[in-house]
Amino acid sequence: MTERTWCCSLGIVQKRLPILGWLPHYSLKWLQLDSIAGLTVGLTVVPQALAYAEVAGLPVQYGLYSSFMGCFVYFFLGTSRDVTLGPTAIMSLLVSFYALHQPVYAVLLAFLSGCIQLAMGILHLGFLLDFISYPVIKGFTSAASITIGFGQIKNLLGLHDIPQQFFLQVYYTFLRVGQTRVGDAVLGLVCMVLLLLLKVMKDQVPPLHQQMPCCVQLSHLLVWTSVLARNALVILFAGLIAYSFQVMGSQPFLLTGKTAEGLPPFQLPPFSVATPNGTVPFNQIVQDMGAGLAVVPLMALLESITIAKTFASQNNYHIDSNQELLAIGLTNLLGSFVSSYPVTGSFGRTAVNAQTGVCTPAGGLVTGVLVMLSLAYLTPLFYYIPKAALAAVIITAVAPLFDAKILWTVWRVKRLDLVPLCVTFLLCFWEVQYGILAGILVSGILILYHVARPQIQVSKGPVLILQPISGLHFPAVEALRETIYSQAFSASPPCCTILDCTHVSNIDYTVVTGLGELLEEFGNRGASLVFVKLQAPVLSDLLSADLKGFQHFSTLEEAEKYLSEE
């Protein structure tokens, strides 16, 4: 094997295993910073995982089952040092909708999503995500924040028998608000206030300087740790209160209850479900999931890659989008073997990771180990966690997803983009997939309209000069014909016309045919149509078509001189 071949092979291996790029340079300083970041993220992910399992409609242990595989997979395959993979509010909402609150469905959905994501990564189909515009994403996330947040009001108030469908949920929540359990309501509101105060405190903490006295630095570290681990502290606080009441023989709160103990077994995901009425086969489960097999993997990829790109641009490093597809796909595929539901990148935990100074994806190893230790030793204590406290964690976590400022920004930049944003936002309250698909469809129609009706700059003088501003594609032929009819053929005699093709980089057969018909019509009317500034591919296509009367020039001056002498 030659040296060049060896270097090429090594480059391919490093691209597929990014760990080989940074592991040889790993230092003790990096280990210290990664350990602190991993521990901090672990203190965040454990209470969030329990809470997000509630959103997904699954037993709370499934949140933790979903929180550690991504840490280990991303250690080997991740290209962003900041990103952490695990359960999120958006994914949990989608799982709740498509997995029908059944763990078997949720685990199988993770397996199938992973297969689809891996296939997209191998076939380099990540460009499909580019068709989901920012207004559609914002419309979906804003609607999801309201849906998720309002869905936790029942736990915050201790209400029972509230339907899952959003509009019915709103109706029955207000109908049964008189059945509110005072204990749950008070505890939930206290937890929310504590979380908000700690979050405000985070913005008020001054930066740490080496010149500060040791006692001040220690106090700063204590406050900083409390702020970042606020979810864990609030859950611990609520759990201690609930345990105290349990010891005294009364319980004013709805508790999480008994949780399966220990680590999940490593096994194939189930491909059928045993029910009292018989066995539900694999094909029936797939039919029940429906559009979720497209929506869940695509939204997971979109969320994860968007987060990775955001933090990469902020911290001046590069990520490989296709490698991220493979990482998230393999995480979901392998995660299904440990009873995980579909996961993606978490913006909140990624932000915590970045703020604590993580240097490499090795920080995820500490997070993963902490989650596994929690499963191994702490699950009996989850019994005493009040559901109202978990609801408070969820509501404060999803509230920032609602972005009211986007309306004013879009209004100032391009008002037409409010259409897909509002369509997605409103329809997501009815059915999530309808909202996303409708938003993509509206965005596509807006794009196609501009392709079919491109702006054509018109300059009148001794000759008529037409310049398509945004290229020529086959739907635009009719728009060009209408412009020529209204500008050139309406005059008597008809105007000679120059078509300035500066912005036309390629054409298709329909465009060539349409231009041939226009040349023939100009000839029948005793006028001329000439072309200027043709790019090489366009000129080659037009010459190959052997159009009758075709003339082209390099500059406008040459074309105008030719027409004046004709």
Q: Is 459 helix (H, G, I), strand (E, B) or coil?
A: strand
Cβ partners under 8 Å of residue 395, min gap 6: 149, 152, 156, 192
Tell me the C-alpha distance between 292 and 437, whole Å.
12
Tell me the C-alpha distance between 111 and 99, whole Å.
12
Which segments of 343-457 does DSSP mark as H helices, in order?
347-355, 363-377, 387-398, 405-413, 418-427, 432-452
Q: Is 465 helix (H, G, I), strand (E, B) or coil?
A: strand
Tell me the C-alpha distance between 528 and 495, whole Å.
8
Tell me the C-alpha distance between 194 and 197, whole Å.
5
Report phi then psi at 176, rounded to 5: -110, 15
Asked if 321 and 126 touch (Cβ cutoff 8 Å), the reply is: yes
Tell me the C-alpha distance between 552 and 529, whole Å.
9
Tell me the C-alpha distance between 105 and 286, whole Å.
9
Neighbours of 179 (CB within 10 A): 11
Tell me the C-alpha distance between 352 and 345, whole Å.
13
Q: Is residue 277 packed enough to be buried (19+ CB in 10 Å), middle (13-18) or exposed (0-12)?
A: exposed
Q: Which tokens is 309 given?
A: 């790109």
The residue among 315, 402, 365, 363 whose CA lies nearest residue 89 is: 402
Q: Which residue has the tokens 């993220």?
A: 41
Tell me the C-alpha distance between 38 and 46, whole Å.
12
Neighbours of 60 (CB within 10 A): 24
DSSP 340: P
The number of residues making up the chain comes to 566
Q: Which residue has the tokens 């990103």?
A: 83
Domains and CATH numbers, the chain: 27-400 (no CATH), 402-452 (no CATH), 456-565 (3.30.750.24)
Q: Which tokens is 163 given?
A: 């339907």
- Which 3-state string (H, E, C) describes 3-43? HHHHHHHHHHHHHHCCHHHHHHHCCHHHHHHHHHHHHHHHH
> Amino acid identity, residue 165?
Q
Neighbours of 320 (CB within 10 A): 17
Neighbours of 150 (CB within 10 A): 15
Report phi then psi at 511, rounded to 5: -65, -45
What does each of the 566 residues of the chain score in pLDDT, given as a tens digit?
555 555 555 556 667 788 888 888 899 989 988 998 898 889 889 999 999 999 999 999 999 999 999 999 999 998 888 999 999 999 999 999 999 889 999 999 999 999 999 999 888 887 877 788 888 888 988 898 899 899 899 999 998 888 888 899 999 999 999 999 999 999 999 999 999 998 888 767 666 666 667 777 777 777 777 887 888 889 999 999 999 999 998 889 989 888 888 999 999 998 988 888 788 899 999 999 988 999 999 989 888 888 888 788 777 878 888 888 999 999 999 999 999 999 999 888 888 888 888 899 999 999 999 999 999 998 898 899 999 999 999 898 888 888 888 889 899 998 999 999 999 999 989 888 788 889 989 998 998 888 888 888 888 888 899 999 877 888 888 888 888 888 888 887 888 899 999 989 888 999 999 999 999 998 888 889 999 999 999 999 999 988 888 999 999 988 888 888 76
Which pLDDT value is given to residue 12? 63
DSSP 386: B
Tell me the C-alpha distance between 103 and 518, whole Å.
64
> Amino acid identity, residue 239?
G
Cβ partners under 8 Å of residue 459, min gap 6: 465, 467
Question: What torsion, rounded to 10 degrees, do the Cα atoms 369, 371, 373, 374 define?
Answer: 170
Q: In what order do the strands lie in the sheet with 456-459?
A: 456-459, 464-468, 497-500, 529-532, 552-553
Q: Which tokens is 145 given?
A: 């924040």
Tell me the C-alpha distance between 313 and 191, whole Å.
35
